[in-house]
Amino acid sequence: MARFVALLACALALLASSMASAAIVEHSFHVQNLTVRRLCNEQVITAVNGSLPGPTIRVQEGDILVVHVFNKSPYNITIHWHGIFQKLSGWADGPEYVTQCPIVPGNCYTYKFKITGQEGTLWWHAHSSWLRATVHGALIIHPKSGHSYPFPKPDKEVPILFGEWWNANVIDVENQGLATGGAPNNSDAFTINGKPGDLYPCSEKQTYKLKVVEGKTYMLRIINAALNNQLFFKIANHKMTVVAIDASFTEQYVTDVVVIAPGQTTDVLVTADQPVGSYYMAATPYASAANVSFDNTTTRGIIVYEGSTSANPLMPVLPASNDTLTAHKFYSNLTGLAGGPHWVPVPRQVDEHMFITFGINLAPCRSNVTGNPTCQGPLNQSLSASMNNVSFVLPSTSKLSMLQAFFFDVGGVYTTDFPNKPPVKFDYTNPNISLDRSLIFAPKATKVKTLKYNSTVEIVLQNTAFVGIENHPIHIHGFNFHVLAQGFGNYDSVNDQGKFNFVNPQTRNTIAVPVGGWAVIRFQANNPGIWLVHCHLDVHLPWGLAMAFEVENGPTISSILPPPPADLPQC
């Protein structure tokens, strides 16, 4: 009965808001079980509105987006609008226990926020456990009326979402890994728009097909919604022109391969300029960590020209899974479109300098208490992760989210002593430190770094060689940042500053920090609230590879976080 009453209240709220002005774009998300058949098996998944991927949201810059989320699933759920600034609407950002408590089964919550100063390809996804694997979709922001793209308008725009598929319940996969202290099982397949492609068993009819017309140009809005894998993407015999990344326009960059990390988006123009026929598009993992198992399979779809009679599509030659040179060339050659729509020049006066080391760690084996002395991580310990020797813990046992604690000035939920630099200086990328017991154990805590409103923050993101060296995609909620430089090895504060690009650096919300390397980013903290910073490999967030920024209120009404919505989910 309580579940019915809760959903009825949501329905009434939906009816009331439907009478709002035409400037509002409104959607309803029904999150519930869905039985699908993949790889010869039937699997019950959690999905939105009965589809995988979930619905594509299309808005114009300046619109107000309202999404009513009805949780009819058996799991707690929140939705994160990945890359949206959430200016003074941090309550709608979505990460559970950070900006809100979860929407429990049988309840609902309405997300409402205005989209300003952004256009391009973003996406939405669950920010609870591993539900992102199947609860995700595209969020496309078109220019407002009267505005145009800074390149010739394509003939058609097509979302391309990469995903991962498990022949198992993803919540069970995550929980099993956490219980044993080891890495969770690898996925069984990759997907393009929810379809594995014909290289997998029972999947010939589950292959995504894109029909094109010779001579026309298509914008592929590529989104990596995979949980734990970066991907190489190619189209046989076709070049791609990158025009935007993470909803920020770029200088046009012509390439035959795209590399994309979980959380990132890349917009490319593809002209159907080849002989009439059919051509495979394919994605395969970029796996930078040596001696670590991964899903070494390939998903592919087919581009079919109108009038084609070809029964044998051409296949692109894909990079090797460990081709770091190709990955780095792509990532480092991208530049921003200085002076283009929504371009923000690099702030030159820095108020806060931070040096953040991060990587995989170990934690004492919890099963020791039960008498079983071994976990499945290295040295018979549990796998963990950290930033500046702090392994982040979500305050899931608190009565408040972190943002509620910030707004109501309630202590005990988090502390404000996240360090500006690691407590110990060491040779960060030297493989000999991989299992150094004096370095690889990090204490668990919920710590944030406090930032003054409108302060400019520069961060050196330094990968470490703890346990294993790999490329980590780091995502900052609530802000875009300029990528001033990136490279391999330990960051050199004397010589590497000369590599900074202050003219047209790429702008992102998720940066793939090079394997065994570093990146320098800079942003302006112009949005009060609590903003999560974390690795967008889902396996690493519950291990603790995260921290958060507490951005203080500004001096005027227009720079102060408003009160929480009345229907904000409670813990």
Highest mean pLDDT among 375-379, 485-489, 567-571: 485-489
pTM: 0.95
- CB of 343 closer than 8 Å to CB of 263: no
**pLDDT tens digits along 243-288:** 999 999 999 999 999 999 999 999 999 999 999 999 999 999 999 8
Give 57's contacts (C-beta < 8 A, 6+ positions apart).
25, 27, 65, 67, 124, 137, 138, 139, 140
Over range 429-448, report the average pLDDT: 94
Closest CA to 533 of 489, 491, 481: 481
Distance CA 190, CA 131 (A): 16
Distance CA 340, CA 274 (A): 31
Give 428's contacts (C-beta < 8 A, 6+ positions apart).
357, 462, 463, 464, 465, 490
Please give the pLDDT value at position 18: 38
Q: Where are the beta strands (DSSP E) in 189-239?
A: 189-192, 209-212, 217-224, 230-235
Whether the pLDDT of residue 470 is over 90: the answer is no
Residue 565's SS3 state is coil
Band (pLDDT 50/70/90 cuts) for residue 311 is confident
Mean residue pLDDT across the chain = 94
Residue by residue, DSSP assigns 278-342 as: EEEEEEEEE--STT-------EEEEEEETT---SS-B-PPPPPTT-HHHHHHHHHH-BB-TTSTT
**pLDDT tens digits along 490-546:** 999 999 999 999 999 999 999 999 999 999 999 999 999 999 999 998 888 899 999
Over range 423-430, report the average pLDDT: 95
Domains by residue range for the chain, with CATH? 24-142 (2.60.40.420), 156-333 (2.60.40.420), 352-559 (2.60.40.420)
Distance CA 438, CA 443 (A): 12
Please give the pLDDT value at position 453: 98
Band (pLDDT 50/70/90 cuts) for residue 289 is confident
Beta bridge partners of 412: none
Over range 362-383, report the average pLDDT: 79
Please give the pLDDT value at position 4: 41
**pLDDT tens digits along 392-417:** 999 998 899 999 999 999 999 999 99
Band (pLDDT 50/70/90 cuts) for residue 14 is very low
| Percentage above 90 pLDDT, the chain | 90
Residue 74's φ and ψ, nearest 5 degrees, are -85, 5
**CB under 8 A, 24+ apart: contacts of 502-506:** 502/346, 502/348, 503/338, 504/251, 504/335, 504/336, 504/337, 504/338, 505/335, 505/336, 505/346, 506/245, 506/248, 506/250, 506/334, 506/335, 506/336, 506/482
Band (pLDDT 50/70/90 cuts) for residue 373 is low
Residue 31's φ and ψ, nearest 5 degrees, are -95, 115
Neighbours of 6 (CB within 10 A): 18
From the centroid of its chain, how far is CA 402?
Answer: 20
Please give the pLDDT value at position 15: 37
- CB of 329 closer than 8 Å to CB of 257: no
